[in-house]
Structure 1
């Protein structure tokens, strides 16, 4: 393509150059912009560059000029600040449900939202290798299909697997596909889950998205179930289902923040004495719930119902017997 025919693209390439090569610490002079445009086989003169910069500013691009011995131009602000991009990149690197390969790809894409100079800081500060990651590369396809099914109110069919002791896949339900009505996707305990109505269990259940395969959207409409996704995720622990109970637990005052973080500020609590408070919680009683209580030692005590107290003591004794 000739330099003449490239003139229509000059403004676009100039914006690309400024976005990729400038920030508050890195600038370009007009001669340097002309040099960079020439790499794209685009001829430019000083006056046209000034006019183009004014056009970009009028369009809304935050371009500033720093005057010293020369006039140095740079992109002053962007949609995302560097600190925000670092936060996003770290979240991607830390996410267990994102594979190592995909983490690197996503971090590279996040870096494209800033200058090439600042993008290097993202790569330097993020360490992906060695972190525990999912092995299912199809998780992104799974999420897309599930979201589409939720949006169209359709059931899905899928295979569900677990790993054997020799780390091989073993499909549950003898490899026969599950059929469920997806309601929402949620991220809990570093894993992605699909919350759904599963007819076989005649109720709400959840599946780990990275353990789902061969997902297909069916022609059947979703089962209608009146449920609150937020409340559902509050009462289960580590996506481990159990029998729902309303429990009264006495906590040391130092654990008030922990209870609020887990169950929200609307949690019913009242003062017992100067050192402790009672919390009324609706939970699904399960081993992860026992573990959550046990971590607080003598600073947390199940008061009622008696059945739950007895189950907790039995659980502790079973663990003790193992030693």
Structure 2
């Protein structure tokens, strides 16, 4: 049998054929394998293909043959990811506001290479499940990478920070001045990515939306604020900050109707202490950054929850309610 012009790629193409065209439900016969190799201008005899299928195990590709009638049907029996795992990753990518629409499609196309062409179609259908709002800052991936580099090298970063104006234009904050921050971690909250870092000038921990950073670069200055972050639990920090908005951290006591117990646990975790007050209510004390966003969250739960301490926070709630009445009242 005359050899094709691409014989040296035979094992690679065989792996590609098996991974793309077979799965738990789709098989390929030996004649079909030989025909598929011909599409790449590769010729092979059955005996050599049998040996090559065994050699694929060296690359972690296990091929199983099953006799059906007088023929054997072959398919790949293991892959790096199972379909439910890939669907979970696709859903996470699709629902992430900080990943742009273009990058979402790029990432999902890359995930499709881990499955057969048939299963890839199932992932493609999920891409269009929902038209969620996406960030428009395409540089976020490189920004995140540079932040990780700075953290690993114990260096500060500098960047410009923007907000959107009424003309839908990027408007630099602080007149375009660069922020100089010691990065200590990244937090994913409310479908957005945040940098949590130490501002040496203000001598406090601050957080910034990563998709609103521009022209970020690492600078040759050692990070500061280590002592602050030794005391900081990143997950706890995000839990206390509603929508990652700042505010004075305080112990807030609330009177809550029993049916909202699940809401409290979902928000603050199972470690909170819920003390029964009567048959219909319990009290709970939580540490939060008291901000307008926190007060709005309490208001959204209606008559089922009430801030009962400290007086300062209850007073802030009264002022917020008064502001709303004046804003929407006649």
Query: Structures share a fold, TM > 0.5?
Result: yes
Paired position in structure 2 for 1:108: 109
Residue 130 of structure 1, CA deviation: 4.0
SS class of match (2:18) = helix
Find out whether 1:11 has 2:16 as its counterpart: no
Match of 2:243 among 238, 244, 265: 238
Which residue number corresponds to residue 47 of structure 2? 47
The residue correspondences of 1:152-167 to structure 2 (distance < 5 A) are 152-167=153-168
Structure 1 pair 87/179, CA: closer, same or farther in 2 (3 Å)?
Answer: same
Distance 1:314 1:199, change over 3 A: same
Asked if the contact 2:3/2:44 (under 8 Å) is kept, the reply is no
Q: How does 1:25-174 map to 2 (within 5 A)?
A: 25-57=25-57, 60-69=60-69, 70-127=71-128, 130-174=131-175
4+ residue segments displaced more than 6 Å: none
Q: Distance in 2 between matches of 1:175 and 1:131?
A: 30
8 Å contact from structure 1 (residues 104, 128) kept in 2: no
1:96 and 1:307, CA in 2 relative to 1: closer, same or farther beyond 3 A? same
CA distance in structure 1 between the partners assigned to 2:42 and 2:276 by the alignment: 74
> Shift in Å at residue 186 of structure 1?
1.1
For residues 232-288 of structure 1, give each alpha carbon's deviation from its aligned partner in whole angstroms, at most 9, with x where no partner exists. Answer: 111110011011110111211222221111111122322222222221100011111
Separation in 1 of the partners of 2:42 and 2:62?
24
The whole-number CA distance in structure 1 between the counterparts of 2:293 and 2:39 is: 60
> After alignment, is 31-40 or 63-72 more displaced?
63-72
For 2:7 and 2:276, locate their aligned partners in 1 and report how far apart those are by CA, in whole Å: 74
In structure 1, the residue matched to 2:305 is 300
1:222 matched residue in structure 2: 223
Q: Distance in 1 between matches of 2:171 and 2:222?
A: 29
* Residue 11 of structure 1: how far off its partner (Å): 2.2
CA distance in 2, matches of 1:41, 1:128: 40
Q: Is the 8 A contact 2:182 2:197 kept in 1?
A: yes
Give CA deviations for 1:152-173 in whole Å, capped at 9, x if unaligned: 1110000001111111111111
Q: CA deviation at 1:25?
A: 1.8
Q: How far is the alpha carbon of 1:315 from its aligned partner?
A: 0.3
Deviates more, 1:22-31 or 1:122-131: 122-131
For 1:73 and 1:97, locate their aligned partners in 2 and report how far apart those are by CA, in whole Å. 42
Q: Structure 2 residue aligned with 1:321, among 302, 315, 326? A: 326
Note the C-alpha offset of 1:5. Answer: 7.3
Structure 2, unaligned stretches of length 5 or more?
Answer: none
Change (3 A) 1:128 1:105: farther
- Pairing 1:251–2:252 present: no
Structure-to-structure mapping, 1:272-311, within 5 angstroms? 272-311=277-316
The yes-or-no answer on 1:20 pairing with 2:29 is: no
CA distance in 2, matches of 1:8, 1:266: 61
> Tell me, what secondary structure is at the counterpart of 1:162?
strand
| d(CA) in 2 for partners of 1:14, 1:21 | 11
- Aligned residue for 2:320, secondary structure, equals helix
CA offsets per residue over residues 119-176 of structure 1, 9 Å max, x none? 0111122217843111111011101101111111110000001111111111111111
Describe the SS at the equivalent of 1:238: helix
- Distance 1:59-1:107 versus aligned 2 partners, 3 A rule: closer
TM-score (norm 1): 0.94
TM normalised by structure 2 equals 0.92
Deviation at 1:3, TM superposition (A): 4.4
Contact 1:29/1:72 (8 A) holds in 2: yes
Aligned length: 322
Q: Matches of 2:125 and 2:85 in 1, distance apart?
A: 16
3-state SS, counterpart of residue 295 of structure 2? helix
